[in-house]
Amino acid sequence: MDTATLSRPLRKPSSFHRAKRRIVRGLQIFALLLVLVYTLFPYYWAFVSSTKQGAALYHSALVPALDFTYYRQLIDNPIFMGSLLNSAYVAVCTTFLSLVIGVSAAYALGRIEFPQRRAVLMIVLMISIFPQVVVLSGMFELINWFGLFNRPSALILTYLLSTVPFTTWILTTFIREFPRELEEAAIIDGCSHFRILTKILLPLMGPSLASTGILAFILAWNEFLFALTFTLTDENRTVPVAIGLIAGTSRYEYPFGQIMAASVTVTLPLIAVVLVFQRRIVAGLTAGAVKG
Amino acid sequence: MSAKLARRDHRAAWLFLLPVLVVILLVAVWPLARTFYFAFTDAYLDDPSVYSIVWFDNFIEVLNDRSWWVAVRNTLVFTVISVAIETGLGLAIALLLNAAIPGRGLARAAILVPWAIPVVVATKMWEWMLNDQFGVINKILSGLGLVDHGIAWTASSSLIMGVVIFVDVWMTTPFMVLLILAGLQLISPEIFEAADVDGIPAWKRFWSITLPMLRPAIGVAVLFRVLDALRMFDLAYVLAASNENVMTVSIYARDRLISFQELGVGSAASTWVFLLVALVAIIIIGVLRLDRAAGT
Amino acid sequence: MASVSLHAVSKSFGTHAVIQGVELQIDDGEFVVFVGPSGCGKSTLLRIVAGLVAPSSGIVAIGGDDVTDVPASRRGVAFVFQSYALYPHMSVARNIGFALETLGMARDAVSQKVLGVARMLKVDHLMDRRPRELSGGQRQRVAIGRALVRQPEIFLFDEPLSNLDSDLRMEMRLEIARLHTELKTTMIYVTHDQSEAMTLADRIVVLNQGRVEQVGTPQQLYHAPDNRFVAGFIGSPRMNFLNVSSRQEGEVAVLTGAGNLSLALTTGDAQSGIAEIGIRPEALRLVAEGEGRIACILERVEDLGHEHFGYCRISDGTVWVIRLPQAPLPDRIGKPAGLDFAGSAVYAFAADGRRVAVGAGHVAEGPQP
Ligand SMILES: Nc1ncnc2c1ncn2[C@@H]1O[C@H](COP(=O)(O)OP(=O)(O)OP(=O)(O)O)[C@@H](O)[C@H]1O
Ligand SMILES: [Mg+2]
């Protein structure tokens, strides 16, 4: 073998190469299937389990029983529907505010030359990595001052901690991609900075805003620590906390059926969004990381 | 010097930055400062206005608490193992999805599903699948004759850290895959074609071309993931609220703060968490920089 | 009206000095072209005039008023970009009218003006299209239309034609020349293209590393360059140069150099040492070996159909280009030959690059074999 690598490799018959290529292709497809099962089966299984009633739940039949009792129960459950509404309210408001604040900051950071630009960018980046638990005590005080304790609106305020640095960062990289001349043309045409942002850049930023907004929405929809800490009563909870806190009377009566139904319900919109906007999400995720 | 025009621009810049600065001051700088301040007091959460300064007592109390060190160990073990597995698995899946095989578009979309699912939901789904009596995993294992009775994955103190790592890997590998895939797509295919023509074997191509060129992408992804893993809270909390075997530093700090209402000690613990994360961040960024400096 | 003057204008990005002490006076109605090698600061200087870049020091005046601190939109300038910079999300009509819209002009008045300009540039049938639905030439017209509609006192063009193919470039060049004769507005035009510069310009400004090397009419620059840089930059193919050593004998400098050069030039009283000479390709004649003033080897001939260029290697390795009246016989290629030229065609340069004034004066004998 050692000498063979030094001299010119022996030429194998093409049937050998064809067979080899087939085997490699076969292995790749098998691996791909494995990846698909690994990523999708848990969600599928949650759906299967959520449509089984009583003892059937404990049998591991792979096909769904398509009994939607649990879902009906969820719809009739005002607490769960309330938490769904809370989640939607909090996530939508957080997304909207973070986009508005982020676009404004991104314009300054991406488009205007000023001496402290790099410093501000570094601060924004640093805040996006610090652990939420660190601000818990101070945040508690802040929320009490605003009189927002145990209100979903408190969560909007606290979520800005995670979403604003992140939307600012990503939108800055997106805004930098526009040719400088577009803006210079607008300056010559007499536009103020505000008009450049609203009339020239914003109309062109639809896809970037979608990418960033989806990421912010998912972040806000899924948040747990602040939601757990700053809401106390059931009617003010968001869905993740509501699901996290569902408990049975004992370990053996754990209501897995209901939990799976709730899980499927809150995840369905996310999965729909993810599948539809796959490209935009990937664009957003990588804009922040690879180019930054 | 036409500083006048430049000054106008600078003023405009600060105007556009005003909202983000207000937000940062309000929800980041101020709470952080308050946390640091409370860490030096003996305040309690029920009435934070009554307190006295105790200087470093809280910090020392945390360090003398055996649970704190358990939490630190858990956090580090969790971070190192889960990020290592995620990087390896992420790299493998990314390479697979980068190859021209039918169905990779579908797989690229599917891989986003675990990432988008709320941590709480993912935890519940796996808790159910790993249930000792009725879980589908145990059913499959006993069906294959590998075990004779169900394993108590989430109840056993020795296995539960494994479960936490496993679920985290399931949820966050997609993020790795996406970043590495983006890195792969920046490499010009001509480089591989050239290597192909030169007859360089596949494994060598991987070691001496693909991996070095992916280093920046992997570096950034690992940095993000490590910092994220260090502050992990929801997964361990939902799976096993106060099980010491998976208690992370975030859970420890929140417990002291909220459950025990110890504003002072809890803030001190939070401050330690902050320092821990900052230290790790500095080390990793340093290593990445050194790498880059050595490379050029 | 709008003359432009730059006084001691400098610009640095960080420590990198891009424009260094530029003095320039442009008269009202003049067509001035900036040329220079890539990266020499042409675009930066144009942007300083426009107000898009603030100079680090110096004064910019338009129509006699100091506008250094006046924002771009108040300077009465219009800018046509190399990439056109049309707003991708707006129709042609809105692209052209956007400046007027921004001024708050009534919608009817805007559309009337836009239509007038569009007619003039023959894009009135494209009014509802988006920029990406236009051809390169049409985009160019819209970009000019956008500049025109504001009735600026000064037009600034930054390599406006460089993205067009050569036919279209010729057509648009004529169009811009026509606009200038019609409007009589001051125009400043940046280009790489020598033929654009020579045909459009009233005066050309040659820039090099952020400094003005020479300002003059195309004829002045071609026939009387101030220095070696301008001599080498203007003219295509470029001027041939040769390093020489000179010995002063009274009023005559005797030059010697590679290729058995023998040349003597009258320099008058000026005892300036001549370090280099330059001769344009069209002033050279190919002669037989042993004849002419320089010995060389004819290495290669390029036949472009309507003209022929010969490449001649001289003994120090320098390759000279020569324009030939017709293609030489193939058997001369690769063989030694001679080059002849009139003494009056020689440009002489001092060691620092300045041109030394010389007379055609005495000319010594041809090269010794
Ligand atoms: N915003 C900027 N920041 C830093 N350097 C710059 C900036 N703009 C231009 N430069 C530098 O200034 C120098 C001159 O640039 P400029 O664009 O004026 O050259 P140019 O003569 O127009 O070149 P070209 O013919 O290639 O367009 C270049 O070295 C360029 O790198
Ligand atoms: Mg330029």
Q: Which residues, including other chains, have CB under 8 Å from residue B274's CB and lie 6 or more apart? A: A130, A131, A134, B32, B35
Whether A189 shows a pLDDT value over 70: the answer reads yes
Residues in chain C, overall count: 369
- A/C interface, count of CB pairs below 8 Å: 52
Domain that holds residue B258: 39-295
Q: Are residues B76 and B103 in the same domain?
A: yes
Q: Are residues B234 and B165 in the same domain?
A: yes
Mutate to test the pocket of ligand 1, among C11, C43, C49 (most ligand atoms within 8 A of CB): C43
Q: Do residues C349 and C355 make contact, with C-beta atoms less than 8 angstroms apart?
A: yes
Based on the number of CB atoms within 10 Å of its own CB, is A27 exposed (0-12), middle (13-18) or buried (19 or more)? exposed
Distance CA C311, CA A250 (A): 97
Q: Do residues B236 and B248 make contact, with C-beta atoms less than 8 angstroms apart?
A: yes
What does A169-183 look like in DSSP terms, one character per residue? HHHHHHHHTS-HHHH
> What are the helix (H) ranges across chain C?
42-50, 92-103, 107-120, 136-148, 166-183, 194-200, 218-223, 228-233
* Mean pLDDT across chain A: 86
Helix/strand/coil for C189: strand
Distance CA A158, CA B31 (A): 10
Read off the DSSP letter of residue C353. Answer: S
A248 φ, ψ (degrees, to nearest 5) = -90, 180
Contact assignment for B234 to A244 by CB distance below 8 Å: yes
C253 φ, ψ (degrees, to nearest 5) = -100, 125
In angstroms, the first-to-last Cα distance of chain C is 65
Is A120 in CB contact (< 8 Å) with chain B? yes
Q: Name which of B86, B90, B217, B91 is nearest A290 in CA terms.
A: B217
CATH of the domain at B163: 1.10.3720.10
Q: Interior CA angle at C346 toward C340 and C352, to 5°? A: 135
Helix/strand/coil for A220: helix
Distance CA C83, CA C130 (A): 15
Q: What is the percentage of chain A residues whose pLDDT exceeds 90?
A: 42
Contact assignment for C57 to B1 by CB distance below 8 Å: yes
pLDDT of residue A130: 79
Based on the number of CB atoms within 10 Å of its own CB, is B146 exposed (0-12), middle (13-18) or buried (19 or more)? exposed
Q: Are residues B30 and B165 in the same domain?
A: no
The Å distance, Cα B172 to ligand 1 centre, comes to: 44
Binding partners of C (≥3 Cβ pairs within 8 A): A, B
pLDDT of residue A291: 41
What does C325-349 look like in DSSP terms, one character per residue? SSPPPGGGTTSEEEEE--GGG-EEE
Nearest by CB to C85, from A185, A190, A195: name it.
A185
Chain C: residue whose CA lies nearest to B8:
C71
The Å distance, Cα A129 to ligand 1 centre, comes to: 36
pLDDT tens-place string over residues A68-86: 888 888 888 888 899 999 9
Please work out whether the CB of residue C18 comes within 6 Å of at least one atom of ligand 1.
Answer: yes
Token pair belonging to B202: 């596949």
pLDDT tens-place string over residues B263-278: 999 999 999 999 999 9
CATH fold label, A77-289: MetI-like fold (1.10.3720)
Number of structural domains (chain B) is: 2
Q: Name which of B220, B281, B198, B273 is nearest B90 in CA terms.
A: B220
pLDDT band at residue C360 using 50, 70 and 90 as cut-offs? low
Whether C369 shows a pLDDT value over 50: the answer reads no
- As residues whose CB is below 5 A from the ion ligand 2, the structure lists C 43
Q: Are residues B157 and B13 in the same domain?
A: no
Tell me the β-bridge partners of C296: C337
Distances (CA, A) of A221 to A42, A91, B271, C348: 20, 5, 27, 78
pLDDT tens-place string over residues C246-290: 888 877 888 888 888 878 888 766 666 889 999 999 999 999 888
Look-up of token digits 């490209």: A279
pLDDT of residue A106: 95
Q: Are residues B146 and B32 in the same domain?
A: no
Q: Name which of C105, B12, B20, C74 is nearest A196 in CA terms.
A: B12
Q: Are residues B19 and B64 in the same domain?
A: no
Q: Which domains does chain C have, with CATH numbers?
A: 4-232 (3.40.50.300), 238-359 (2.40.50.140)
pLDDT of residue C361: 52
Whether C238 shows a pLDDT value over 50: the answer reads yes
Query: How do the pLDDT tens digits run along chain B, 296 residues long?
Result: 466 778 888 999 999 999 999 999 999 999 999 999 999 999 888 887 888 888 899 999 999 999 999 999 999 999 999 999 999 999 999 999 988 888 888 888 888 889 889 999 999 999 888 887 778 888 888 888 777 777 778 777 788 999 999 999 999 999 899 889 888 888 887 887 888 788 788 788 888 888 888 888 888 889 889 999 999 999 999 888 778 888 999 999 999 988 888 999 999 999 999 999 999 988 988 887 766 655 44
pLDDT tens-place string over residues A233-269: 888 999 999 888 876 544 556 678 888 899 998 898 8
Q: Are residues B3 and B104 in the same domain?
A: no
Q: Are residues B93 and B23 in the same domain?
A: no
Contact assignment for A187 to C52 by CB distance below 8 Å: yes
Task: Name all contacts of C39-44 with Cβ < 8 Å and 24+ positions apart.
Answer: C40/C207, C40/C208, C40/C209, C40/C210, C41/C11, C41/C207, C41/C209, C41/C210, C42/C158, C42/C190, C42/C207, C43/C158, C43/C159, C43/C190, C44/C11, C44/C18, C44/C19
The domain ranges of chain A are 3-43, 77-289
Q: Do residues A175 and A107 make contact, with C-beta atoms less than 8 angstroms apart?
A: yes
Q: Are residues B147 and B87 in the same domain?
A: yes
Distance CA C67, CA C57 (A): 13
The larger pLDDT score, comparing residue C309 to residue A251, is at C309
Q: Do residues A66 and A51 make contact, with C-beta atoms less than 8 angstroms apart?
A: yes
Whether A7 shows a pLDDT value over 60: the answer reads no
Q: ipTM of this model?
A: 0.88
Please work out whether the CB of residue C47 comes within 6 Å of at least one atom of ligand 1.
Answer: no
The larger pLDDT score, comparing residue A35 to residue A284, is at A35
pLDDT of residue B16: 96
Distances (CA, A) of B90 to A271, B94, B242, C242: 21, 6, 31, 63
Q: Are residues B178 and B61 in the same domain?
A: yes
Is A125 in CB contact (< 8 Å) with chain B? no
Whether C97 shows a pLDDT value over 70: the answer reads yes
Interface with chain C: mutation pick from A177, A183, A189, A198, highest number of C CBs within 10 Å: A189
Whether A226 shows a pLDDT value over 90: the answer reads yes
Q: Do residues C118 and C192 make contact, with C-beta atoms less than 8 angstroms apart?
A: no
Whether C40 shows a pLDDT value over 60: the answer reads yes
Distance CA C194, CA A128 (A): 53
Among C98-112, C140-154, C248-262, C278-292, which stretch is predicted with the lowest mean pLDDT?
C248-262
Please work out whether the CB of residue C42 comes within 6 Å of at least one atom of ligand 1.
Answer: yes
pLDDT of residue A3: 47
Q: Report the greatest alpha carbon distance in chain A.
A: 80
Q: Are residues B126 and B249 in the same domain?
A: yes
Q: Do residues A102 and A215 make contact, with C-beta atoms less than 8 angstroms apart?
A: no
Whether A54 shows a pLDDT value over 90: the answer reads no
pLDDT band at residue A10 using 50, 70 and 90 as cut-offs? low
Contact assignment for A38 to B33 by CB distance below 8 Å: no
Whether C224 shows a pLDDT value over 70: the answer reads yes
Mean pLDDT, residues A88-106 = 96
